[in-house]
Structures are given as structure tokens and as C-alpha cells.
């Protein structure tokens, strides 16, 4: 058992920050080791209820979050059931009210457009009150700005912001990004990560062992 599985609160006396994996019960939400969530408005333990929205079991869509991510207060993940079908002549969700309109219960998912799962890579920082929409994939090492609304895929190690979110700049050169994606330090053993924390903090890829 790893440290993050043993502990709910990473910091003594801080009840606003949790290791997110420790509070997930939904089998369609997968969170990696050491990913943390901070909430100074609501109880962070209520993440599934307050932050993962329109995630209805009937749709079977998934939220996948990698390791060592930092998720700020108020981040929202909006799933497919929040959508209304745009291929219909009306945006009204008739299939949702199947009893009222004598429709098949099995056709409920026709009420919305399905864009797919939400996939968050490793070492991703998601800023305060950002919104991640259904079908989006965010690459490793990306940074999502405060109150950004992410409607499209984000490449690895890219900083984005705005509504809708657009690239601001890459965090590193293409060479360093390629090297980081090749090394995948987040998959190293705890011991190896601990040995390399100095180099990671210093932003010195040449010192990674």
C-alpha cells in the first residue's frame, strides 16, 4: 500500500486538501496516486457530488485523472448528460421524459450528444473554478488557467486559459517536453522520485537520474 492510499489528508491540520483517490467510490471515476484536490468552500470529500456533474450511470462515461495532478477549488467536470442533442429539430430533451411522451426508457441517452470520456493526464494543474467539458483529453504536464472552460483537447505541457480555453504557451522547449514524456517520472518508484525531487523542483532535466 502506498503513502497516498494510507492517508486522506497530506498535510497535518489541513482538512481542505485531500488525496483524491481516497474518496472515490464511483467505478467510472479513476484517479491516480498522489493527485490532490483542495476545496476551501465545500468539504473536499464531497468531490464526486460537487465537482463531477451530469455523470449519470446510464451513460457509462468515465473520468480518468492521472497521477500527481493538482486540482484547485471549484473545478468542475461536465459530462455528456449536460448536453442536449443538436441533431434534433428541437433542443428539448424529449427522451429524458419518456413517460410523458410514451417513449422507450432505453432511448434516454438519445436526449444528449455523447462526446466521450474526460481524460486528464499526469502532473496536470487545473486552476480555480476551471470547467472541463465532456470528451476532452488533457495531456501530461498541462496547466489549465483560472476559470478556463476547456472544450477541446490540450497538448502535453501546454498552458491554456480563457473561455473557451486557448493555448497561451508551452511550458518547455519541444526537446524537454519529449524527454519528460519519455521518462514519465510519475511512474517511477517512490524511492526514485524522492531521489530526484531536487532536480524536479529545480527544473533541471539533465539532473534526473
**Same domain assignment for residues 202 and 129:** no
Query: What share of the chain in percent tops pLDDT 70?
Result: 97
- The yes-or-no answer on residue 84 being catalytic is yes
**Same domain assignment for residues 120 and 67:** yes
**What's the whole-model pTM score?**
0.92
**Residue 160: CATH number of its domain:** 2.160.10.10
State the greatest distance between any 2 C-alpha atoms of the chain, in Å, as a whole number: 66
- The pLDDT tens digits of the residues spanning 97-126 come to 999 999 998 889 889 989 999 999 999 999
Averaged pLDDT for residues 163-186: 97
The closest alpha carbon to 131, from 34, 31, 26, 53, belongs to 53
Q: How many domains does the chain have?
A: 2
Look up the domain containing 125 and give its range.
Answer: 3-83+114-171
Residue 96 belongs to a domain: no
Partners of 31 in beta bridges: 65
Residue tagged active-site, from 62, 76, 84, 170: 84
According to the model, what pLDDT value does residue 7 have?
86
According to the model, what pLDDT value does residue 6 have?
55
How many residues make up the chain in this entry? 209
Amino acid at each position: 500500500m502506498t503513502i497516498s492510499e494510507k492517508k486522506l489528508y497530506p498535510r497535518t491540520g489541513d482538512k481542505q486538501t485531500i488525496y483524491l483517490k481516497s474518496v472515490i467510490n464511483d467505478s467510472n471515476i479513476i484517479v491516480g496516486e498522489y493527485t490532490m484536490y483542495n476545496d476551501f468552500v465545500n468539504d473536499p470529500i464531497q468531490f464526486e457530488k460537487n465537482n463531477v456533474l451530469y455523470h449519470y450511470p446510464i451513460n457509462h462515461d468515465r473520468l480518468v485523472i492521472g497521477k500527481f495532478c493538482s486540482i484547485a477549488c471549484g473545478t468542475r467536470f461536465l459530462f455528456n448528460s449536460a448536453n442536449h442533442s443538436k441533431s434534433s429539430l428541437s433542443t428539448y430533451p424529449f427522451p429524458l421524459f419518456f413517460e410523458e411522451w410514451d417513449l422507450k426508457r432505453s432511448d434516454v441517452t438519445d436526449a444528449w450528444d455523447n462526446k466521450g470520456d474526460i481524460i486528464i493526464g499526469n502532473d496536470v494543474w487545473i486552476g480555480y473554478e476551471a470547467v472541463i467539458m465532456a470528451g476532452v483529453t488533457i495531456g501530461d504536464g498541462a496547466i489549465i488557467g483560472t476559470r478556463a472552460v476547456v472544450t477541446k483537447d490540450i497538448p502535453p505541457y501546454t498552458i491554456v486559459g480563457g473561455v473557451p480555453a486557448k493555448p497561451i504557451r508551452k511550458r518547455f522547449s519541444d526537446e524537454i517536453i519529449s524527454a519528460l514524456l519519455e521518462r514519465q517520472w510519475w511512474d517511477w518508484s517512490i524511492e526514485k522520485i524522492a531521489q530526484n525531487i531536487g532536480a524536479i523542483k529545480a527544473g533541471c532535466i539533465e539532473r534526473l537520474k
